[in-house]
Amino acid sequence: MPSHLEISSEKLSRLVGMPSAPVIIDVRTAEDFALDPRLVPTSLRRDHVDVGSWARELEPRPVIVVCQRGAKLSHGVAAYLRSAGIAAESLEGGFEAWIAAGGPAVPEEKLPRRDILGRTVWVTRSRPKIDRIACPWLIRRFVDPDALFLFVPTSEVSAVGDRFGATPFDIEDVFWSHRGDRCTFDIMIEEFGLSLQPLLHLATIVRAADTARLDLAPEAAGLLAASLGLSRLYQDDLEQLEAGMLLYDAFYRWCRDATEETHNWPSVKKGA
């Protein structure tokens, strides 16, 4: 049972992927990190020695601090953050406990380089419909909450990526793209180590809607209709992305918690 200064891996796993998820700070030493260079989803790597410097940069959101075993480093940093007015807890048992509990872990080597503001930067074709909204949702919810997305003409994706240090996705002949009958969303789940059952379920729906194989999932027709509707409601791709984030939040929460729930009217008959 974790103390009031700790959070369990089970509880944290329920928060990861949610719009209100806490900031996760990984303070493992370089030696410990080298033993397993993966991260709890959305983690930021920070040096415990410099906590007085980077603590001022944190948003006013709850923070979870992760070290190797949930001992002195994470408790010390969390205490320091609390003294600065930031709600902070230590992950009980640390990174080792997270992995032992079957928690997903993102390989650091798969993360694109970050810009001067610490964000990963991605570029893709303008006028997104399905995959190009689903992938940014996955990145912001499970990889980098501050990720920046650039939508440009198809012919300029490669050049913009080169000139601005942006990682291209969902376009031909790049790493983050369709492979065989799988769409880019599938590939990102696999490469980022995020093969959780709810995400795999959502991936089937996305693949079905994105590749016109609606028979793969009964929910695909609804996702396709909503996606096409959003693309006509918004002329600005970034506004459409923000609206689409809520759509995918809802689909993910359904995949995680509500697939067995049904709805009828009236739910309870009078006098029953």
pLDDT digits (tens, 9 = 90+) for 74-112: 999 999 999 999 999 999 999 999 999 999 999 999 999
Phi, psi of 211 (to 5 degrees): -115, 20
Sign (positive or negative) of CA dihedral 64, 69, 71, 74: negative
Domain range annotation of the chain: 6-107, 111-257
Q: What is the block-wise mean pLDDT of the chain (272 residues), using blocks of 10 residues? A: 85 97 98 97 97 89 96 97 95 98 97 95 97 98 98 98 97 96 98 98 98 96 98 97 98 96 75 57
In this prediction the pTM is 0.95
Q: What are residue 33's DSSP bridge partners?
A: none
Gap between the Cα atoms of 237 and 21, Å rounded: 25
Task: Count other Cβ atoms within 10 Å, centred on residue 147.
Answer: 18
Q: Which CATH class is domain 6-107?
A: alpha beta
The β-bridge relationship of strands 23-26 and 106-107 is unpaired
> How far apart, in Å, are the Cα atoms of 259 and each of 87, 195, 196?
34, 18, 15
Closest CA to 160 of 146, 170, 150, 171: 150
Determine if the peptide bond prior to 19 is cis (ω within 30°): no
In 147-258, alpha helices (H): 157-164, 184-191, 197-210, 220-233, 237-257
> What does the pLDDT read at residue 266?
72
State the chain's mean pLDDT as an integer.
Answer: 95
Specify the 3-state DSSP secondary structure of 248.
Answer: helix
The beta strand positions in 101-218, using DSSP E, are: 106-107, 121-125, 148-152, 167-168
The pLDDT tens digits of the residues spanning 25-53 come to 999 999 999 999 999 999 999 999 999 99
